Structure formats: structure tokens, C-alpha cells
A and B are shown apart, each in its own frame.
Chain A
Amino acid sequence: MKLQPADDGALMLEEIPPFLFHLLSNITVRASSRDPRVEARFFPDPAREESLIEDWKSLVQPELQFLFQSARETVQADLRGASVEDGMYSMKIPRKHADAWLNALNQARLAIVEESGFGEEDMASEVEPDLEDERAMALFEISFFGFLQECLVRMQE
């Protein structure tokens, strides 16, 4: 897979093998998890104060939910715009969509970690993708999404 910045500030992803494109297509699936552990991580209590927690749940949480959903929809739309040639995919992340991608990638990574119960040691371990090994695949997804995030962060600087 090749990543390179375009003149208009977009990030071009080219020669994406089907396996990696499948993972990209899974970003929004992963990020849409309804697992209570994921929900708790996406919407942490802002303080110990009960009244503030209640206000937060009724006023702030819906805004955050909307924002997260919006980011996922932007990513989904960009993925729908991908083209395929000789079995390899190409797509573009427009500059103005970079924040949505950063957000959705973070959602996906956090969701995988919560669902898999990974800790710091798991995150630090090196893994190779292995379709037969669910844990290795989950760690590889986190690593791949992190790599994309890193590229997008660098483009923001």
C-alpha cells in the first residue's frame, strides 16, 4: 500500500490490497460497537459530582454521539468512493475529512481494545496478521489504524 500527500492536501491511498481494504471497511463497524465497555470508554464521567454526571449524560453525551456518528459517516462515504483496478484499491482522504478519519480511527482502536480487554503489554507487543488468530488480528487492526492515524497527524502539522 502506498500513501502520499496530494497537492490539494488530501492523503492518497493507493495499491491497497483487498485484505487491508477490508480492514479499512471495518473501521465504522468496529467503531459502532454497542458493547457496554466501549460505551463507557467513549462517554466517561466528567467528574465525581452526581449532578454534573446527570447533566453530562443528558446534554453533552448526545452531542458527542452525534459527532462520533458524523465522523463514521464521513469515513464510510470516502470508502464508498474507492476505486479498484487489477484487484488493488485506491482512495482519497480529502484534507477537510482528516479530522473525521482521526476520530473514527480512534473510535475503532478504542473499541477493539475494550472488547478484547487489551492492556499496555498487549499494545506494546509486535504481531503479524494471522487470520487464524483472533487476538493477533485485533492487535494488527489496532496497529494498522494507528499507522494511518500517525500519517494523518503528521499531515496536520
Chain B
Amino acid sequence: MPSLDIPETLEKIDLDLPWNVLVHNDPVNLMSYVTLIFRRVFGYSREKAEQHMMEVHKRGRSIVWTGPREQAELFVQQLQSHLLLATLEAAR
């Protein structure tokens, strides 16, 4: 069934695209708490975690990780479990 090959191929390409995990600013979460969560979830150094935290604070959002979609979804779930405003989007 050749007609089915096209969507399958497209789907594969889509899944293979890198995805960004974003964290958005909110006035509630403490800076120290956000830094702690970044260190825990991504294993970042304190310095790198603080850089992302400051980017969230000053620019309203930060791309905290980029990679395969499945892993990105898992990270968003983990961040949301700590009540951080996290989303994912295709890195295009």
C-alpha cells in the first residue's frame, strides 16, 4: 500500500526533529527552588542551572534542554511535577 508510505515517512521525520523544553517565568517560584529543580532534573552544574534560572527570570522563558521528543516530554512532566511552567516545542 504505497499511499501509506508518505505519512509514515513524515511522521518519522517529525519524531526525529529535535524538541525544545521551555520553562516560563512566573512570579511565585523561588529562584533558589527553580535552580534546585534544574540541577535535579537535568543534572546541571549550579552555574548552568542558575544561568537558565536567570534567563527565565529576565527574559520570561528559557530553553533548558533540546533533544528527542520522547525525552523532552519526560522532562516536561518532571518539571511540571515540581510545578514549574514547562512546555515543549519543535526546535525549528
Contacts and interface: CB of A to CB of B under 8 A. Distances in A.
A153 B33 contact: yes
A123 B33 contact: no
Given A102-B33, A154-B32, A156-B36, A118 B27 contact: yes
Candidate in B27, B29, B76, B87 with the most chain A CB atoms within 10 angstroms:
B27
A28 interface: no
Interface band, chain A? 20 to 34
B77 A106 contact: no
A109 B83 CA distance: 11
Candidate in B29, B80, B82 with the most chain A CB atoms within 10 angstroms:
B80
Contact of A103 (B32, B36, B83, B85): B83
A42 B83 contact: yes
Question: Could you tell me the dominant secondary structure of chain B's interface residues?
Answer: mixed
A125 B33 CA distance: 20
B83 A106 contact: yes
Contacts of A43: 80
Given A46-B80, A64-B81, A146 B86 contact: no
Nearest to B85: A44
Contacts of A67: 81
B35 to A, nearest CB: 8
A120 interface: yes
A78 interface: no
Interface in A75-113: 102-103, 106-107, 109-110, 113
Contact of B28 (A44, A64, A109, A150): A109
B88 A46 contact: yes
B73 interface: yes
A157 interface: yes
A150 to B, nearest CB: 6
Contact of A119 (B27, B30, B83): B27
What 5 pairs across the A-B complex have the smallest Cβ distances?
A: A120-B27, A123-B27, A153-B32, A106-B83, A46-B76
